[in-house]
Amino acid sequence: MLATKIRLKRIGRKNRPFYRMVLIDSRKKRDGAAIEQLGWYNPISDEKDCELKSERIIHWLNKGAQPSKAAKKLIKNNGIAFEWHLMKSGADEKEIQKQLKKRDLDMAAAKKKKKENSKVDVKQKKDEKESVQASKEENKLSS
């Protein structure tokens, strides 16, 4: 068995990175020949688009492939690490699907809450800025 790694392979032009998530022999270069392509990641887009083949990633993780730091982060953010954890803990398929659905709902709620908080923060900063400007004008008028 080869010492395999799941890592990102850079493609794309200068200053416009685009990555493929690949399974590769750990002794190969970053952009060397891959054993299998497992997905892609676009760090330039606003949503940081990413598409991964979860079944194949889990298959290779079970065979002992080690993800790099960047690959591990993408795997975790897409919920594949959680699914793999549930599979390793012995949960049945129905329970795994239930837990993944619950996770997706929790993530959506957290994203919505974060968006609302950022809107409130922007409004507070704007109000603060206006009040500071108003106090400066009052100071100019009084002196």
Q: How many Å apart are CA 113 and CA 125, to the nearest integer? A: 18
Which of 79, 65, 80 minimizes the C-alpha distance to 6? 65
What is the pairing mode between strands 50-52 and 36-41? antiparallel
Q: How many Å apart are CA 121 and CA 127, to the nearest integer? A: 10
Q: What are phi and psi of 28, to 5 degrees?
A: -80, 160
Does the predicted model carry a pTM greater than 0.75?
no
Upper half-sphere CA count for residue 125 (Cβ side, 13 Å): 6
β partners of residue 24: 5
* Amino acid identity for residue 125 in this structure: K
Q: Which residues does 7 contact at the CB level (< 8 Å), separation at least 6?
A: 21, 22, 24, 30, 67, 68, 70, 71
Q: What is the pLDDT along the chain (143 residues), one digit of tens a residue?
A: 578 999 999 998 999 999 999 999 988 887 788 899 999 999 898 777 889 998 999 999 999 999 999 999 999 988 888 888 888 888 888 888 888 888 888 888 888 888 787 777 777 777 777 777 777 777 777 66
Q: Tokens for 31, please give them.
A: 């952009």
Contact predicate 70/52, CB 8 Å: no
* Amino acid identity for residue 137 in this structure: E
β partners of residue 51: 40
